[in-house]
Structure 1
């Protein structure tokens, strides 16, 4: 693909001419939100089918360009993609509507499930239900490795990046941001040099992909033109909205208060969750379980099972973590109220930055459609993320199938080794069945989750778990 020129597409006059009313857009975004099961791959597929194929709001090339930018950002790419396209169609209000609706159903579901879990989580049948869900989660994470890998690892260089990323994070505890930015730098330099191995995902910015046939067309909307003044206003507004609750909690209660810890920790996560939830959940789990002792490892996996069974981004599991953290240390508040506030706080500091990244960066990204170096950086990041997701899959497998692990720390190498005699036979059997259902029988995600949850309940009724 030829290097993109510096010519900015002409702006269309206001008002918008695509003919999609705000109320019509609301119904479409609500429909997408209610169908957003199956993690980022399924959510993006739903958006593509509705927005590109069915409604023809945006073209294939524009959709992929927006997606590629969102994959470079920290945070859930599917939610940010919805925000981006909502912003393109109906300015800031459209972005808030699309991104907010994408979060809302999952936030409500996770909160209700958190209440039930906090009240009845130790009851045998509830624990058995989540025992089954863990097996399904393992199959889903491994499926993510295969899906992303088949798309990203098109040559030996990309496969090597994935392998290096896996070894670095699994055995050497290299921080995830270091892996992401290192891969981005390699890809960017390779793209600038014109190396063919770094152009596997190029071409998304081509304007010849039928843009004129979409309702938005190939024009650059007037509100999408980059402006330094507008960028400063957007940055100021969203930084205040995001960080004011954090500052107030720190000043009022100090850094050791559980609400202050939730606000600070998840604000940090919002800045480093590159590659989506799968890529960072192992780190979040380690910090929440080992460092803060907010919840137990099994409870973290239960929370992931909740997020997998509800609509919305998988990163909504952080709401469950915030809920359990505050529920266990409520202070002067009733535990359920403290948990509710902790979950909402975690959700706010996780998603407020997502709107900042889109509203601040999208106008500039719209002028970069077809940039070779940006495409190459994305390709390298995606390859590295495959290795990171593989790390998460192995971490889940170890802690799902074995009751005990033994930490290995020697010569700079650090990992958890399973204790073989602690193997959980029923967990292994359920996991194998889930893997067969996902990879060979092609059973849908929701059916796999329901089947594994039901199997866990039946095993409990039979007295086997």
Structure 2
């Protein structure tokens, strides 16, 4: 009997609902370190310590969640809650995973717009920006190792990067195109016993109605900004394959250049802020929604924008889980669907590479322009605006993360402290 079989045999009965709430609240409060740290925490708590689910079930669910749009760690928490206590368990575990981080992000967003003019806070965010560049680089390496298994996958990643960086092809088209190519390339046919539409209709109607519910109030109020926020982030909820890193380059481009909700530096500040809080990294979108609302009508409007963004971001996550979880085995057995999702994962590597370049340019250079060659158009920095301090902090953060295996909170803290010290006793930024 293998070790995994012994462990699976030791899995006990489902916990009480009260125990589920207490455990997932603790996970939500301690879920620092991005998806890798959050998934590791859940594995230790749910599989090793509590033995609420076995190893095979946990990994099976994790693979499924990685192929869905949205934050995989939050969806994994939702799936485990659903597995243990049905829909109410899934709702409770998903909410408890998100709400602590959302409260912190919105609170820090208020502080951000209130006190950013102080030199010490500017120094903190300068250091966080530099560290975030290393964190994004680490995510690129980690996901590339997992996704790029053959020449076809490498070609998809390279094509996705070129399409986004130089050809300005919209992110959703890149994702859809990769999925179609993977579907066509995969061998085999759809398996029998596809999910029955009638059985899933009630789930679709209930969670679909919850998804669009805020738009009723938005249309009644008649706010173009809030309508833009709701529609834009609803679209992101459908195409965020690969987690937050995969979609942030597209969000940054649209929020900064199209809608004018925030500046490139503020976008990087938001990611740095989200990295310091518990919960899924995709909460950075609530920071974007907060600033959009804040510039429409102050702090109260900003809080409404942040909450609206969170609503249309996370309600679809519950929809995907509750629709797909009962049919998990059948979905994974469909070779063409599996091929499409694998192709999307490969393309996401190119998307994250584009994000890495975008962040790198805006962290290391004070001014970034654009070279327009007609069909080809790409960002280009002003060499004179290069910041050696930002480069030094980014290198330090990369060494801590990639070589010393230091955690994200420690890396961010050290980078922020060094930046504040440089601002106070050095020559500024």
User: TM-score by structure 1 length?
Assistant: 0.84
Residue of structure 1 in register with 2:6 after alignment: none
Residue of structure 2 in register with 1:298 after alignment: 265
2:154 aligns with one of 159, 184, 187 = 159
Q: Is 1:152–1:158's contact at 8 Å kept on the other side of the alignment?
A: yes
2:412 aligns with one of 430, 443, 449 = 449
Q: Deviations over 1:157-212 (max 9, x none)?
A: 22222222212221112222222223223333333259xxxxxxxxxxxxxxxxxx
1:438 aligns with one of 398, 401, 411 = 401
Q: Is 1:68–1:378's contact at 8 Å kept on the other side of the alignment?
A: no
State the Cα distance separating 1:226 from its structure 2 match: 6.0
The separation in 2 between residues aligned to 1:414 and 1:49, in whole angstroms, is 47
Q: Is 1:403–1:423's contact at 8 Å kept on the other side of the alignment?
A: yes
Greater shift, 434-443 or 93-102, is seen at 434-443
Residue of structure 2 in register with 1:237 after alignment: 206
Greater shift, 365-374 or 402-411, is seen at 365-374
Structure 2 unaligned residues grouped into runs of 5+: 1-11
User: TM-score by structure 2 length?
Assistant: 0.91
The separation in 2 between residues aligned to 1:370 and 1:58, in whole angstroms, is 22
Q: What are the equivalent positions in structure 2 for 1:321-336 lying under 5 Å apart? A: 321-330=288-297, 335-336=298-299
Residue of structure 2 in register with 1:383 after alignment: 346
State the Cα distance separating 1:135 from its structure 2 match: 0.7
State the Cα distance separating 1:370 from its structure 2 match: 4.1
Structure 1 unaligned residues grouped into runs of 5+: 1-16, 195-224
**How many equivalent pairs are there?**
413
The separation in 1 between residues aligned to 2:57 and 2:14, in whole angstroms, is 18
Q: Is 1:238–1:353's contact at 8 Å kept on the other side of the alignment?
A: yes
- Residues 28 and 457 (structure 1 numbering): CA distance in 2 closer, same or farther, change over 3 Å? same
The separation in 2 between residues aligned to 1:366 and 1:247, in whole angstroms, is 37
Residue of structure 1 in register with 2:4 after alignment: none
Q: Is 1:39–1:308's contact at 8 Å kept on the other side of the alignment?
A: yes
State the Cα distance separating 1:228 from its structure 2 match: 4.1
The separation in 2 between residues aligned to 1:229 and 1:355, in whole angstroms, is 19
SS at match of 1:317: helix
| RMSD of Structure 2 on Structure 1 (CA) | 2.0
Residue of structure 2 in register with 1:365 after alignment: 328
The answer to whether structure 1 residue 138 and structure 2 residue 107 are counterparts is no
The separation in 1 between residues aligned to 2:14 and 2:395, in whole angstroms, is 50
State the Cα distance separating 1:431 from its structure 2 match: 1.1
Question: Counting helix residues as a fraction of each chain, which structure ranks higher?
Answer: 2
Q: Is 1:114–1:323's contact at 8 Å kept on the other side of the alignment?
A: yes
1:56 aligns with one of 51, 67, 88 = 51
State the Cα distance separating 1:235 from its structure 2 match: 1.3
Q: Deviations over 1:309-332 (max 9, x none)?
A: 1011111011111111111110xx
The separation in 2 between residues aligned to 1:187 and 1:47, in whole angstroms, is 31
The separation in 2 between residues aligned to 1:155 and 1:360, in whole angstroms, is 31
The separation in 1 between residues aligned to 2:293 and 2:25, in whole angstroms, is 30
The separation in 1 between residues aligned to 2:14 and 2:328, in whole angstroms, is 24
Residue of structure 1 in register with 2:19 after alignment: 24
The answer to whether structure 1 residue 247 and structure 2 residue 242 are counterparts is no
SS at match of 2:186: helix
